[in-house]
Amino acid sequence: MIRKKVIRSLLQILLLAFTILILSPIIYMVLNSLKPYSQMLKDPWGLPKTLFLDNYMKAFQQMHFWTSLFNSVVITISSVFLIVVLGVLAAYPIARFKNKLTSFLSIYFLVGYMVPSQVLIVQIFSVMKQFHLINTRIGLILVYASSVSFSIFMYQSFIKALPTELEESALIDGASPGQMFWKVVFPLLKPVTATIVIFQTMWIWNDFTMSSLLISSRDNMTLLLELNLCIGEFNIDWSVMLAIMCIVMAPMVIFYLLMQKQIISGMTAGALKG
């Protein structure tokens, strides 16, 4: 009994040490964003002597925070909405109807899920340029929404597990196919929908490759692009740079704190179905 307690205590200590190690860059960033640059150089790991907020004031003065935040929110919400709607509409017939076409589409989307988007950067840029969608929020939204294979793959597994008797009962009771799908089937897909929304939101919000490829105007830049733009401007005063990083990171931290229960349940549901 004592041996088990000792082992458990050691494991807890190791987990605590590992957690501190993982969080150390964030702790370093937050601590030094609240210090003058001189104090940061002398004592980077010490607590701030006073609550120094000038770094954040300079950060907000220099960066276009509200514009880039608006762009990030619009692009992320619009892209995730399209991914969910297009994904569930494509996954339902593939999961419910068995024929050569749906079998081909299932393999086709699976291959699309396996191919990284970075491989297709040249083709994506060429298509966007041909349709005059370079440097537009709509173009970036369409590119993100085209990565719908993950959504289709996830929805397929869950739809196959749903009993068809529920759909047949709804149709017998007089519901149209559209009503049956959106009012009976789709609500039952809430766990997988939450999983898709969470993972796609975190991916799109933190994506830098596609946004830097397609967006060049500061009026259309996302928060990450704004951060990248500020690196060249504030490469001397790193305390201000760290404050900008904290500002850019804050929305996703808030999102994670609000959605942590759904994230854990979604990962568990995905593991069970996978």
> Is residue 219, in this structure, part of any structural domain at all?
no
Distance CA 113, CA 156 (A): 13
> Is residue 59, in this structure, part of any structural domain at all?
no
> Is residue 111, in this structure, part of any structural domain at all?
yes
CATH number of the domain that 105 lies in?
Answer: 1.10.3720.10
In the chain, how many domains are there?
Answer: 2
The pLDDT value given to residue 114: 82
Asked if 86 contacts 151 with a C-beta cutoff of 8 angstroms, the reply is yes
Distance CA 63, CA 88 (A): 38
Sequence-distant (≥ 6) Cβ neighbours of residue 185 within 8 angstroms: 92, 159, 162, 166, 167
> Is residue 252, in this structure, part of any structural domain at all?
no
Residue 151 is part of which domain span? 67-209+260-273
> Is residue 99, in this structure, part of any structural domain at all?
yes
> Is residue 239, in this structure, part of any structural domain at all?
no
Residue 252 has pLDDT above 90, yes or no: no
> Is residue 80, in this structure, part of any structural domain at all?
yes
Residue 177 has pLDDT above 80, yes or no: yes
Residue 57 has pLDDT above 60, yes or no: yes
> Is residue 246, in this structure, part of any structural domain at all?
no
Does the predicted TM-score (pTM) go above 0.85? no
The pLDDT value given to residue 190: 87
Q: Dihedral sign for Cα 23, 27, 29, 30, please.
A: positive
Indicate whether 138 and 265 sit together in one domain. Answer: yes
* Chain segment 195-243, per-residue pLDDT in tens: 899 889 989 998 988 999 899 888 899 998 988 887 765 456 788 888 8
